[in-house]
Amino acid sequence: MWRRFGCAEHCNRSMKTTIRLADGTDAQAVLDIYTPFVSGSPVTFEVQPPSAAEMQRRIGSTIERYPWLVCASANRVLGYAYASEHRARAAYGWSVDCSVYIDPHHSRRGMARGLYTSLFALLRLQGFFNVFAGITLPNAASVGLHEAMGFEAVGTYRAVGHKLGAWHDVGWWQLPLQAPLCDPPSPIPFAHSARNDSWDAAVRSGIAILKI
């Protein structure tokens, strides 16, 4: 089981707002942010909010292979971002999907960009080459965020999901994380990654973007 970086812990104590690695104790706070998106919007195609225990399980399962980060202020989680499997078959193993959710009361303060900056820095260190984002359309704010981060639109699934009494399109955006290699090594599972100054710097890399 991975542990938080020492420096990240010091930053969390000394700074008003920071970005850090999530753990199971963040499950309820993450769920509180996520639930309104489940029950009141098509942003996620999940239709019933999970329990806190299920969210804790998801965090634990994710961080075995991919990063899950939170943006926190005074020990309160204001937003989170994580990576997940793009597709199950082995040849997709160098690509991931990404998601970011921000408490609406704290939007437009750089948290989504800051979380993504740290997330993508970690994914590069792990050895991933592409990150994809699926966006339920229309969603001008999310499209603007991803394109500002360098994503480019690559296609649209038409009427692919039905929720809240309507059919919804999902657009897909792609960001290359690094130049492709002819014979790439397998990405390092997050739980097995070496903890060193480079990893700590990656976690902290998005903090400068925060406007809180």
pLDDT digits (tens, 9 = 90+) for 150-177: 999 999 999 999 999 999 999 999 999 9
Whether a cis peptide bond, with omega within 30° of 0, leads into 138 is yes
On whether residue 53 sits in a domain, the answer given is: yes
The residues facing 174 across adjacent strands are 132, 152
On whether residue 1 sits in a domain, the answer given is: no
- Determine contact, residues 155/137, Cβ cutoff 8 Å: no
Give the CATH number, domain containing residue 80: 3.40.630.30
Position 2 pLDDT exceeds 50 = no
- Structural domain boundaries, residue 37: 6-188+196-209
Average pLDDT over residues 83-97: 98
Listed range (8-12, 35-39, 85-89, 105-109) with the worst mean pLDDT: 8-12
On whether residue 128 sits in a domain, the answer given is: yes
Position 5 pLDDT exceeds 90 = no
Average pLDDT over residues 109-138: 97
Phi, psi of 84 (to 5 degrees): -150, 170
Number of domains in the chain: 1
